[in-house]
Amino acid sequence: MGFRFSQDYIKRFVQRKDLKLAVYGLGRVGLPLAVAWLRAGYEVIGADVDEDKVEIIHRGLSPIGDEPGIEESIKRCVSEGRFKATTNLIDASEKSEVKFITVPTTQRARRFDDYALKAALEAIGKGLKEGDAVAIECSVPPTTTVRFAQPILEEESGLKAEKEFALAFSPERIFEGRALEDIEIRYPKIVGGVGPYSTELFAELYQRIARKGVIKMRSATEAEISKLFEGVYRDVNIALANELAKLCKAMNIDFAEISEASNSQPFCHLHKPGVGVGGACIPYYPYFLLDKAEECGVQLPIVRLARNANEEMPKYTVETSKKALEAIGKNLKDVKVSILGLAFRAEVSDSRNSPTYNIIYALKEYQPEIIVHDPFIKEDELLHELRVKLVDCLETACENASLLIIATGHGVYKKIDLEELVKTLNLPAAIVDGCNVIDSNRVPKGIYLTSLWGKTINKL
């Protein structure tokens, strides 16, 4: 063991007053992470390929508007000179000792797309110095840190991981809309290094921002998989909730009331049904695991089935809509459809992989007039390409519509005044509630309400 392996060395490294950190990827994960380090007193360089984002940060503003606590910290720390943003990725590596990678990890043709991660690693590797430390926080398929990241960093820098620089994986566990709170207060940080020095160094470091402490894993691969398990657990349970809700629907009983009763027993954690699963994480993780399982010659039928079932939900939503319209004597191809909600989750402005897009694709077969409403999203490139109008005025969205599909459980939809709303609709009208936001006891005349959570109320 070299001197760096001693706890004493690690403590001194972490306590260095001149220690500079760099965060690669100033997005939903990277910005809150950068702010957590700034709030812990460190100097941070934010590195991103997006010039507009860097420019916004230079002005002391936040490119993500719906994360509490972010903008005020950016403003303060930019003016104090402790937070700088740059598009010069190599320079950021040369000028920092610790680097965190939070770039997007998506899929192309259902396979892991390593493009952004590779670019970040190459730049970091070019600026890497002896004694530096690199942590990958973006979600990746198992073994990415040791088999993909380590060789790139070693090749680019000429240095050896664990001996001359630290390398670890530490999954980001945030829930959008409360990211900073999640990092600082809610959950322990999970860390797995490519060796004991890397694990210990990052465990010591992360303790400075994670009040719940650090869970040390035996390896980077185990840390990677822990994140995928979290996501796949949710995917499978959402699929189960969707399936049970279909039964409730057939029996005209309420999934919400039943699951609340069932969940009063501590071993039961029924999730929420919905129109599908979106976001930058959960839709990808089952495939990361399925690919690895295939490589290992293992089948994961439950994971696969759950993913397929969740991917079918937008189509099921459209089939339900079609039947609802038939029940009121209307046809999908002749009506205006208003989809309420583009964000993949309530109260956020993120539309990545939103089931709303898939609802639109399924609706297009019938060629109705489609309009989308979202209070948090002002513009959307994909909707623009699909020639679907996006509005933030609920009245405009609902005006003359015969079908409302509630796709996101935003608070504003829970507060909809149905008595007022019916005045704008083309009656009789159908409401397909995918988020259980409409109070079935207060359905006005002229409305056929059918909930993906079970109940159908016919007030024609």
Ligand X SMILES: NC(=O)c1ccc[n+]([C@@H]2O[C@H](COP(=O)([O-])OP(=O)(O)OC[C@H]3O[C@@H](n4cnc5c(N)ncnc54)[C@H](O)[C@@H]3O)[C@@H](O)[C@H]2O)c1
Footprint on this chain of ligand X (rule: CB under 6 A): 24-30, 47-50, 53, 89, 102-105, 116, 119-120, 138-139, 172, 174, 176, 280-281
**Whole-number minimum distance, CB 160 to ligand X, in Å?**
24
**Whole-number minimum distance, CB 106 to ligand X, in Å?**
8
**Whole-number minimum distance, CB 64 to ligand X, in Å?**
7
Residue 339 sits at φ, ψ, to 5 deg, of -100, 120
Q: Which is nearer to ligand X, 69 or 104 (CB)?
A: 104
Q: Which is nearer to ligand X, 49 or 240 (CB)?
A: 49
Name the nearest CA neighbour of 202 among 213, 211, 77. Answer: 213
Q: Which is nearer to ligand X, 138 or 209 (CB)?
A: 138
Q: Which residue has the tokens 């004597």?
A: 329
Q: Which is nearer to ligand X, 29 or 430 (CB)?
A: 29
Count CB-CB contacts under 10 A for residue 93: 27
Q: Which is nearer to ligand X, 239 or 281 (CB)?
A: 281
Residue 98 sits at φ, ψ, to 5 deg, of -120, 135
**Whole-number minimum distance, CB 345 to ligand X, in Å?**
9
370 burial type by CB count under 10 A (0-12 exposed, 13-18 middle, 19+ buried): buried
**Whole-number minimum distance, CB 279 to ligand X, in Å?**
6
**Whole-number minimum distance, CB 328 to ligand X, in Å?**
39
User: How far apart (Å, rounded) are the C-alpha atoms in residues 245 and 254?
Assistant: 8
Q: Which is nearer to ligand X, 120 or 430 (CB)?
A: 120
User: How far apart (Å, rounded) are the C-alpha atoms in residues 225 and 194?
Assistant: 14
Name the nearest CA neighbour of 339 among 291, 289, 276. Answer: 276
**Whole-number minimum distance, CB 134 to ligand X, in Å?**
13
User: How far apart (Å, rounded) are the C-alpha atoms in residues 404 and 127?
Assistant: 53
Q: Which is nearer to ligand X, 174 or 289 (CB)?
A: 174
The residue whose Cβ lies closest to ligand X is 27
154-189 exposure pattern, b = at least 16 Cβ within 10 A, e = fewer: bebbebebbebbbbbbbbbbbebbbbbbbbbeebeb
Confirm if 362 and 315 have CB atoms less than 8 A apart: yes
Count CB-CB contacts under 10 A for residue 218: 11
**What one-letter code names the amino acid at 375?**
P
User: How far apart (Å, rounded) are the C-alpha atoms in residues 26 and 47?
Assistant: 7
Token digits for 409? 């459980």
Q: Which is nearer to ligand X, 22 or 425 (CB)?
A: 22
**Whole-number minimum distance, CB 69 to ligand X, in Å?**
16
**Whole-number minimum distance, CB 126 to ligand X, in Å?**
13
Q: Which is nearer to ligand X, 34 or 422 (CB)?
A: 34
Name the nearest CA neighbour of 347 among 369, 374, 387, 323. Answer: 374
